[in-house]
Amino acid sequence: MSARASEVIEPPFNLKWSEPALRLEEALLGTSARIAERGKLSGGVEVWKVEGLPGIALQGVSFQLREGKLVAVELQYSKADWSAATYEDFLQNVRRRIEESHGPGQPITRQRETERGIVKTLVGHRWESAGSAIELYYFAAEDPKNVFRSVSLHYKGPASAPVGAAP
């Protein structure tokens, strides 16, 4: 167990858990980002899909709010021209940065299956501290002609236990 095990894992972008929706929206307005979509999940959780935040291969960010307060953040990374080796390097760099801040994580899934000629791979790790967590996933779906790969980071605040799911 890390010496940091009692510290809350904060969300990205210098945000805080339970950040009010209005303050989050104001912070986004001060960037090149835009809220592309707003929706609802079960349990009254509001989801904002945001595009345009800077980051290498960052395709989009989802903010989840419960009762108007930030409870989870998901970052999706994908780049069509990256090879499997480039994804592996990116994944390992992200994992290393998380471990520098939060200590070693726990593997939570490692799956590889073939369905109708498509090879699907899912690998995930989790870091927990003070009721908060980060989950890091690599997903790939490949057939002889097509490839889709992505890396996602799921930040979950202390109040978000039932919110969000693996990709």
What is the per-residue pLDDT across 103-123, written as a single tens digit (0 to 9) for each? Answer: 999 999 999 999 999 999 999
How crowded is residue 70: how many other Cβ atoms within 10 Å of its Cβ? 24
Helix (H, G, I), strand (E, B) or coil at 31: coil
Which single residue is written with the structure tokens 């592996």? Answer: 88
Contacts (Cβ under 8 Å, ≥6 apart) of 89:
none
* Residue 62 reports pLDDT greater than 60: yes
| pLDDT tier at 159, thresholds 50, 70, 90 | low
pLDDT, residue 5, reads 57
* Residue 166 reports pLDDT greater than 60: no
107: number of CA atoms within 13 Å, CB side?
5
CA–CA distances in Å: residue 62 to residues 35, 39, 53: 9, 10, 11
In DSSP terms, which residues pair with 82 in a beta bridge?
none
* Residue 167 reports pLDDT greater than 50: no
Q: Which fold has domain 21-156?
A: Protein Transport Mog1p; Chain A (3.40.1000)
Domain boundary assignment for the chain: 21-156
Which of 127, 91, 144, 120 is CA-nearest to residue 4?
127
